Amino acid sequence: MKTAGIIAEYNPFHGGHARHLAATRAAGYTHIITALSGCFVQRGEPAVLGKTARTRAALLCGADLVLELPSAYSLSSAKRFALAGTGLLADTGVADGLSFGSECGDLETLRRTARCIESPELQPKLKQFLQAGKSFAAARQAAAEAVFGTGTAEILASPNNLLAAEYLAALDTLGVKMEAFTVKREGAPHGGGFQCGFETQLCGGINHSGLALSASQIRSLLLSGKEFADILPALEASVPADALVTLKDEFPNIYSQKDFETAALSRLRALPRETFEALTDVREGLGSRLFESARRACSLTELYRFAKSKRFTHSRIRRAIMRAAIGMEEGLPEKVPYIRVLGFNGRGQELLAAMRKRAHVPCVTRGTQARSLGGDIAKVFAAECAAADLIALAVPGRKVCGEEFRFNPVRV
């Protein structure tokens, strides 16, 4: 048995994800574990589909075991996200390799980039650009160009390359002996919905540059207010058949952005200033800025606009605000303190049997287990419950609290 770990959000699952899983399997890995973001994703917003649907799509399209990367960690910077996901996979005790996508597709280039972003030589320049008012991402890219040249800076400019470098850095930081494997990313670039309206539908799922749709473009379709039959032609070329069936089944349950906005703003307005100031990675007055913005804003878009500055990017603002909304303030453990099983197939059962002997942290399948373990485990799980309860107010028909305690692992 040779096992690869993949850190993913599958928001939602599409053809690029299926190719990544297939390439990982073709590289000789007999078993694949996916560490999947919980209710919230790194963009600082709820996953467009629930974790049951995303787990099922992953299992139907190539994954064997799906574990949860809790929202407290998925709502984090690329560095913390990578450390948490890598640590979670390592703590299974069965992951031999870490597989990830990248725009460049060259492992040695990514390793050099990882060494650069962790280099002490970078820090003085990074500090200089931060003091000049640049956001952290922009400052690091400018510092990398100043110290290591344009080649490194260009690698850091691509989101998957940056995350890949963070994964490699995380392996070194944690001292994890997992081999690294990268798959060159193909398809539409990240970001952006549609700049020209809904005409992508007319192209049979191909975007304006002739490439299959990205996850962000698929999300734009799902949240466009159109009926599923109207967007189906645009999805068929970009979403694998099995995942498309799951997507169709879950489509009626996609959360309402408007209802979520109301629920989140109600929660945020009730929080004291101290809550915002205690958030992880919040400094230089950002906590007070978020508190004041939350009390003034009548929409999340307005809140983000009030809180944004040259120093703080939209994604960082969104993540901080959603961490406040789910009650995840200070004291987040560096590593995920437990392993939560979201789903598995036959090979996944083999992995679970091996994990019972080798896992370094408790493995749970039910919410009551996580709560009863107490300490950091209960704290992180409570934040996931709060995230689910918040989203429960925004789904059609609304749901009562406690969805996380009623969740059962998906079996395929």
Residues 226 and 339 in one domain: no
Residues 64 and 206 in one domain: no
Phi then psi dihedrals of residue 148, to 5 deg = -115, -5
Domain end call among 253, 268, 297:
253
Angle 58-25-4 (CA atoms, 0-180°, nearest 5)? 75
Residues 68 and 178 in one domain: yes
Domain region containing 70: 3-103+158-186+333-411
Phi-psi region of 262 (alpha: psi -120 to 50; beta: other; left: phi over 0): alpha
Angle 185-189-195 (CA atoms, 0-180°, nearest 5)? 160
Predicted confidence at residue 144, as pLDDT, reads 87
Distance CA 58, CA 358 (A): 24
Residues 273 and 229 in one domain: no
Is 116 among the domain residues?
no
Q: What is the pTM of this model?
A: 0.91
Report the DSSP beta bridge partners of residue 363. Answer: 339
> CATH number, domain at 398?
3.40.50.620
Count other C-beta atoms under 10 Å from residue 324's C-beta.
24
Residues 65 and 172 in one domain: yes
Residues 209 and 338 in one domain: no
Domain end call among 207, 225, 253:
253
Count other C-beta atoms under 10 Å from residue 270's C-beta.
9
Residues 92 and 182 in one domain: yes
Number of domains the chain contains: 3
Predicted confidence at residue 190, as pLDDT, reads 52
Domain end call among 325, 348, 365:
325
Could you list the mean pLDDT of each consecutive 10-residue stretch along the chain, which spans 412 residues?
Answer: 97 96 98 98 95 98 98 93 97 98 93 90 86 81 88 86 95 95 76 39 45 88 94 94 96 94 95 85 79 94 88 85 85 91 98 97 95 94 96 93 95 96
19: which residues sit within 8 A by CB, 6+ positions away?
Answer: 183, 186
Residues 96 and 177 in one domain: yes
Predicted confidence at residue 239, as pLDDT, reads 96
Predicted confidence at residue 208, as pLDDT, reads 46
List the one residue out of 218, 219, 86, 272 whose CA is nearest residue 164.
86
